[in-house]
Amino acid sequence: MNIKRGEIEGTLGQYLGNLATRGLLSLALALPYKSRVRFMGWFMSRVFAPLAGYSKRVRENLHHVMPELPEAEVKRLMRDVPNNAGRTLIEIYSGPEFIAKMKDIRLEGPGAGILREARDNRRPVILHTGHFGNYDAPRAALIAHGYDVGSLYNPMKNKFFNAHYVKAIGTIGQPLFPRGRRGYAKLLKHLKSGGMIGFLSDVYVRHGAILSFFGKPARTALSAAELALKYDALLVPIYGVRLEDGLNFRVRVEAPIPHSTPEEMAQALNDSLEAITRQHMEQWFWIHRRWKPERLPKDAEDVLKKAMSEDTSQ
């Protein structure tokens, strides 16, 4: 067996990183629910984010799409974005306590009634959200209200962390489908039977379409839109919006995206996420390298402007 030194060091690094994470999570979980959520928000914002370079990433992303943003607002978001991320992480690991908070949430928005009707008639639905608020709040709330919701997820690169993370999100609800051929086949079976599936696609996708997000070119997956068209499924944006107390949520269900082309539908999803993010800037995960302009074609912005001008002229 030929094992490279780099592979050993990578595995050891993952193992040690997971040990540190598990220790922190165990410490937080020993606290009462409200205290642990506040603690993890503080820790991620004040300790981890500056050390990990997350605060710098937030600044860079904001400068890329909104260079005119006042410095005071940039600094606020450098604190508050990691705070929301830390709260979200420990909420997901809080299992029964987190689920209990979702049971009394009333679905709101123009798509709420449409979603109930689809559930009762077993119409396939693709629920689309982003790394916004707590992205598992809608799934937990829907399952608590009797909706048959499965979710597609990306396995973590750290295999040690992935094992307990999948267990944590699985506690909130089943079924879960890992990205890959086998998981995708099970997801399709669930959808075709009239179930609902959840997608998060607000991340850079290497071969995705070049669409607009906050006015800048962003590689975007078309898979949710393509599935909606292929299986005549509703494509519904949905968000778990964190309330001002930092502990509770409301679930916002937008109207379904009209069926057209995959690109137009995916752009509508980007626009929907952008709109709600602009209302709650600290709740989107600005830590993502969403745009990666260095990996885009040099004429990406010109191509995007041309496409957008053609859309508005039609």
What is the band of 8 on the pLDDT scale with cuts at 50, 70, 90? Answer: very low
Structure confidence at residue 301 (pLDDT):
81
Please list, in sequence order, all residues whose beta carbon lies within 8 angstroms of the beta carbon of residue 112, skipping any fewer than 6 positions away: 253
Q: Are 58 and 287 a contacting pair, CB within 8 Å?
A: yes
- pLDDT tens sequence across 19-67: 778 888 999 999 999 999 999 999 999 999 999 999 999 999 999 999 9
Q: Provide the Cα torsion 74, 138, 251, 135; round to 10°.
A: 0
Q: Report whether pLDDT(166) > 80.
A: no
Enumerate the domain spans of the chain: 5-313
Provide, rounded to the nearest whole percent, the portion of the chain with pLDDT above 90.
67
What is the band of 303 on the pLDDT scale with cuts at 50, 70, 90? Answer: low
Spatial distance between the Cα atoms of 261 and 78, rounded to a whole number of angstroms: 37
The CATH architecture that domain 5-313 belongs to is 3-Layer(aba) Sandwich (3.40)
Spatial distance between the Cα atoms of 44 and 50, rounded to a whole number of angstroms: 9
Structure confidence at residue 176 (pLDDT):
85
Segment of 10-19, 202-211, 263-272 carrying the highest mean pLDDT:
263-272
Beta strand pairing call for 176-178 and 216-220: unpaired
Across 17-21, 142-146, 281-285, least confident range: 17-21
Provide, rounded to the nearest whole percent, the portion of the chain with pLDDT above 70.
93
- Considering the entire predicted model, what is its pTM? 0.89
Please list, in sequence order, all residues whose beta carbon lies within 8 angstroms of the beta carbon of residue 13, skipping any fewer than 6 positions away: none
Which residue has better confidence, 168 or 125? 125
Name the amino acid, one letter, at 158: N
Quick one: average pLDDT of 67-72? 97
